[in-house]
Amino acid sequence: MYIVVTGAAGFIGSNIAKALSARGEYDLLAVDDLKQGDKFVNLVDCDIADYLHKEDFERELSSGNLDGAIAAISHQGACSDTTETDGRYMMQNNYEYSKQLFDYCRNEEVPLVYASSAAVYGAGREFQEDPACESPLNVYGYSKFQFDQFVRRNWPDRTGQVVGLRYFNVYGEREQHKGRMASVAYHFFKQYLADGKVRLFEGSGGYGAGEQRRDFVSIEDVVKVNLYFIDHPENSGIYNVGTGAAQSFNDVAVATVNACREHQGGKVLDLEELQRLGAIEYIPFPADLKGKYQSYTQADISALRGAGYDAAFLSVEQGVSRYISKLLKASKS
């Protein structure tokens, strides 16, 4: 029987597919839309049994051809562009598609672990898995919020495991295809290699330059959380996936630049020293992001801990350094 990974050629989906295949789960059905063909590189080292285009997968589900053939679904496929304004497109991809998978899993008694997002919280200051804390700022966040609400409404009718994972700011390997939606760590790395400096936003939302704070979480930890729930089908719920500790964009910049400097034989420097050298500079806050930008996020992970996940999370200093080292190694190959 297949373990299905949707969005399998994407950032999080491909890391999950890689982790599953690395531990011997060879009956993997990869589902994606390769209209952006360069994403294929994320699947090259994943040992998958079959690949289906997203629309073909939907037809196979509707026809009943996959009934009895699926052991679990890891649903990571979505449009994750927070600046996308086509609400019809966003809702079709992120909401209607997810509802179809939920109905299939309910009918077939198949576990479903799906990707939600911290974008559901908007500009709030409380990040608990509670509708009272949820107020998305863009249609991407709304699409994720609305599916979480659908899951909540249909909770009594589920027949097996249903887990929603609200990812905070994820960074790590296999995100190179994401363009402007790649993590700030990735963008800082590319900027530093090209120009010898990184650029952060000036102050906004009551925060100083580069001091806006997010819960930055490594893809390594995101994968571990996903595998935990795949391995524990007795657990269901909606859970935040973050470190539980907000850190500044300045912290990410310092970790990125110092990882590059160490690789070049340079000295590790603090924020003030890097600012003085011109390795960190600040640019005006974009007008099109005003009122649509989360200046602060910090996951409340008490529910995740209550579900039995007790592994430590990598800090920015640990995770970004490891990530940049891998990017540097790949750039030399």
Catalytic residues: 140, 178
CB 82 within 8 A of CB 145: no
Q: How many CB atoms lie within 10 A of CB 253?
A: 28
**Residue 193 banded pLDDT, cuts 50, 70, 90:** very high
- Residue 240 pairs with which residues in a beta bridge? 166
pLDDT of residue 333: 63
Mean pLDDT of 69-87: 90
Residue-wise pLDDT for 248-300, tens only, equals 999 999 999 999 999 999 999 999 999 999 999 999 998 877 777 888 999 99
- Please provide the distance, in angstroms rounded to a whole number, between the alpha carbons at the two ends of the chain: 37
Q: Which residue has the tokens 């800082």?
A: 188
Q: Report which of residues 292 and 196 the model is more confident about.
A: 196
Query: 181 — phi, psi (to 5°)?
Result: -90, 5
Mean pLDDT of 104-118: 97
**Residue 315 banded pLDDT, cuts 50, 70, 90:** very high
Per-residue burial over 69-101, b if 16 or more Cβ lie within 10 Å, else e, is ebebbbbbbbbbbbebeeeeebbebbbebbeeb
Residue-wise pLDDT for 173-186, tens only, equals 999 999 989 999 99
Type of residue found at 242: G
pLDDT of residue 204: 82
pLDDT of residue 15: 98
**Residue 91 banded pLDDT, cuts 50, 70, 90:** very high
How far lies 86's CA from each of 81, 95, 140, 174, 247, in Å?
Answer: 11, 13, 10, 26, 32
pLDDT surpasses 80 at 129: yes
Domains and CATH numbers, the chain: 2-168+219-243+300-306 (3.40.50.720), 176-213+247-297+316-332 (3.90.25.10)
pLDDT of residue 288: 79
pLDDT surpasses 90 at 167: yes
Q: Report which of residues 45 and 331 the model is more confident about.
A: 45
Mean pLDDT of 132-159: 96
Mean pLDDT of 76-104: 92
Q: Mean pLDDT for the chain? A: 95
